[in-house]
């Protein structure tokens, strides 16, 4: 249960770091494109904006996938394991006995 709570808390805290809003992407692209010397209203500026927006969307998706993989890996390493053992004992002589046991874990 504790591991689940840690995973949920980590997901909530990191969700803000894994993606940019459309407004944030627009502002970043706008700053970059004007920094490259492209003037708003030109075809080169529009192409720059589109390419940077597409690149940022891809970066954000990659970050989300990496975070999901890391959280899944963490959950796998820290999952609970329950084992049950059953035994079958058959008679013998004196203090000795023989039989078999089975252990199942999940």
Angle, vertex CA 59, rays to CA 33 and CA 73, nearest 5: 165
Give pTM, 2 decimals.
0.54
Domain-located, residue 90: no
Q: Return d(Cα 99, Cα 91) in angstroms, integer.
A: 8
Domain of 31, in residue numbers? 2-80
Domain-located, residue 47: yes
Domain-located, residue 33: yes
- Give residue-wise pLDDT tens across range 46-94: 999 999 999 999 999 998 899 888 888 888 887 777 788 877 766 656 5
Domain-located, residue 102: no
Beta bridge partners of 78: none
Domain-located, residue 63: yes
Beta bridge partners of 90: 98
Domain-located, residue 93: no
What is the reported pLDDT for 82? 76
Domain-located, residue 100: no
Given the structure tokens 């997901």, which residue do they identify?
Answer: 11
Number of domains into which the chain is organized: 1
């Amino acid at each position: 249960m504790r591991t689940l709570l840690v995973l949920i808390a980590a997901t909530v805290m990191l969700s803000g770091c894994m993606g940019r809003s459309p407004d944030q992407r627009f502002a970043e692209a706008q700053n970059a494109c004007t920094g490259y010397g492209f003037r708003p209203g030109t075809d080169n500026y529009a192409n720059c904006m589109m390419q940077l927006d597409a690149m940022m969307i891809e970066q954000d998706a990659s970050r989300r996938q990496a975070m999901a993989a890391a959280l899944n890996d963490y959950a796998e390493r820290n999952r609970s394991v329950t084992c049950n053992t059953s035994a079958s004992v058959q008679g013998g002589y004196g203090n000795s006995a023989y039989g078999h046991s089975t252990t199942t874990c999940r």
